[in-house]
């Protein structure tokens, strides 16, 4: 028989090209989720609950997954631990306040919900800058 050539897709090993497509893939989901987050009225418990309960794009679950993956897409080499990246660190700082917000929500402590929301929003611009997305102010105007 004749030897047939092997074809490789490139996939995850294609380096820069892969990272670019990953960024493009996650940007829309992250932007959608953050716009929904920034539009929340923290005094509207049902709206805040809906943001956390939906599995769809624009809800916390999808935003959380896509934003972490987007932060990871800023690795310059595969041997660097993701947690050492500024993009991942800033996402985790934001997420910590979201966890506090969810705890406040579970206890119906609206003061905790409001303060956690404000703290999270203040940390968002650092993450957005690290992943090359528009600022909080720009997202609110979109």
Q: Write out pLDDT tens, residues 94-127.
A: 999 999 999 999 999 999 999 999 999 999 999 9
| Higher pLDDT, residue 21 or 72 | 72
Burial bucket for residue 71 (CB in 10 Å: 0-12, 13-18, 19+):
buried
pLDDT at 75 over 80: yes
Average pLDDT over residues 62-79: 90
| Higher pLDDT, residue 3 or 54 | 54
Is there a contact between 60 and 105 (Cβ–Cβ < 8 Å)? no
User: Tell me, what's the pLDDT at 23?
Assistant: 84
Three-state SS letters, 3-47: CCCCCCCCHHHCCHHHHHHHHHHHHHHHHHHHHHHHCCCCCCHHH
Residue linked to tokens 């105007």: 141
Is there a contact between 51 and 88 (Cβ–Cβ < 8 Å)? no
The number of helix segments (H) and strand segments (E) in the chain equals 6, 0
Calculate what percentage of the chain has a pLDDT beyond 90. 73
| Higher pLDDT, residue 82 or 1 | 82
* Residue 49 Cα to chain centre, angstroms: 18
Average pLDDT over residues 11-38: 78
User: Tell me, what's the pLDDT at 11?
Assistant: 47
Global pTM? 0.83
Share the mean pLDDT of the chain. 89
User: Tell me, what's the pLDDT at 9?
Assistant: 47
């Amino acid at each position: 028989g004749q030897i047939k050539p092997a074809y490789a897709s490139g996939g995850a090993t294609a380096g820069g090209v892969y990272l670019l497509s990953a960024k493009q893939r996650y940007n829309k989901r992250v932007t959608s989720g953050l716009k929904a987050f920034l539009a929340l009225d923290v005094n509207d418990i049902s709206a805040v609950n809906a943001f956390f309960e939906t599995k769809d794009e624009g809800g916390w679950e999808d935003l959380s997954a896509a934003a972490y993956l987007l932060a990871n897409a800023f690795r310059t080499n595969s041997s660097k631990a993701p947690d050492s990246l500024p993009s991942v660190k800033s996402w985790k700082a934001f997420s910590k306040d979201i966890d506090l917000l969810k705890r406040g929500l579970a206890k119906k402590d609206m003061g905790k919900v409001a303060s956690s929301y404000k703290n999270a929003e203040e940390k968002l611009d650092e993450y957005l800058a690290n992943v090359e997305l528009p600022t909080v102010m720009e997202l609110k105007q979109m």
